[in-house]
Structure 1
Amino acid sequence: MADDFEFADKVPPSFDSVGNASKGFNPGLIVLLLVGGLMLIFLVGNFVLYTYAQKTLPPRRKKPVSKKKMKKERLKQGVSAPGE
């Protein structure tokens, strides 16, 4: 009954070169290199944009201090607030 099969003596091409690793690329390695490369490009791009923004953008303005907060700070330092 086993002799009836036409392809009984042939090896499928997927199992033909199991020991030969130089035949093709490992798909896991391709994915790893692709993801690693994209992450590297992303990080380097962010660094370049950050340094460019530091050089070109003006410094951020501080928020104006409210009168209530100034009064509290003066009282802490021992200076009386004007008008009291």
Structure 2
Amino acid sequence: MDYDPDFDDHAPPSFDRMKNVDRDVEAKGFNPGLIVLLLVGGLLLLFLVGNYVLYIYAQKTLPPKKKKPVSKKKLKKERLKQGVSAPGE
């Protein structure tokens, strides 16, 4: 039972299509998913670096926060704890 191929002079049609596959892969270029990933990653990195730069700039240029004034009630309690009587009592 010998097999005599009918395609002695050329490749079968299914293999002819495979020749074009190599050319198509090179012609496409970058994967669209890779482009989107790089774009989103770049924007995220730019956002984080920008926030860090603004934070450093604000630390250098803004004055320190003002402390809340201590209420008279708290001052009176502190003095009583320390044993100093409040004036007028």
Bucket of the pairwise TM-score, normalised by the shorter protein:
0.5 to 0.7
TM-score, with structure 2 as normaliser: 0.62
Letter in 2 for 1:80: S
1:44 to 2:38 alignment: no
| Partner residue of 1:80 out of 81, 85, 88 | 85
1:29 to 2:51 alignment: no
TM-score, with structure 1 as normaliser: 0.65
Letter in 1 for 2:36: V
In structure 1, stretches of 5+ residues that fail to align are 1-8, 10-15
**Count of residue pairs the alignment pairs up:** 70
In structure 2, stretches of 5+ residues that fail to align are 1-12, 14-19
- The structure with the greater share of residues assigned to helix is 2
Matched with 1:54 is 59
Q: Could you report, residue by residue, the CA deviation over 1:34-64 in whole angstroms, capped at 9, with x for unpaired residues?
A: 1111111111111111111111111111111
Q: Percent identity, aligned pairs only?
A: 79
